[in-house]
Amino acid sequence: MAMKTGLAKAGQIYGGRSERAGELRAEGKKIIGYLCLYPAIEMLTALDLVPYRLFAEMKEPITKADNYLPTIVCPFLRGLLDLGVKGKYNFLDGVVMAHSCDVGAQMLGLWNNFVKTPYPILSILLTLCIPMLSSRSRVSWRPFEKVWNHSQGSS
């Protein structure tokens, strides 16, 4: 059998990524799904967690998510919730969601209510926007400061 290269190799890796995540979980690793590109996957890796990018499947008909989201919502998020409700992401230990859009911000609650994971779900602000926050922003820096101080061993 010839060794696959280039796009064929990438297709092979992508096609088997759920199976690989299952293998890693069987070895005791914690698999954490993440939505969009905003979560810092380096932080997950540093905590010895395996980041797993959540995708919807174009070939999978959306049948269950329409019970929870209007059909006018983007098919990516509807498809993602649909796969979760159908149990296609049962190998996940937890999920990190980002406030990428109005519906994306609501995915946290939807996932928590209709797709169960063993660990709590984390919702984050867009890390790209944090440097742009002004002093008039409604976002408080306190939670970030508290986490940072705790990670550095100070109060």
Per-residue pLDDT at 107: 83
Q: Using CA atoms in the order 129, 131, 134, 137, what is the torsion angle rounded to 10 degrees?
A: 40
Q: Of the spans 43-57, 96-110, 122-136, which averages the highest pLDDT?
A: 43-57
The burial of 82, by beta-carbon neighbours within 10 Å (0-12 exposed, 13-18 middle, 19 or more buried), is given as buried
pLDDT at 49 over 80: yes
Per-residue pLDDT at 79: 94
Per-residue pLDDT at 85: 94
Class of the domain covering 16-128? alpha beta
* Percent residues over pLDDT 70 in the chain: 74
pLDDT at 54 over 50: yes
**Structure-model confidence comparison of residues 143 and 93, the more confident one:** 93
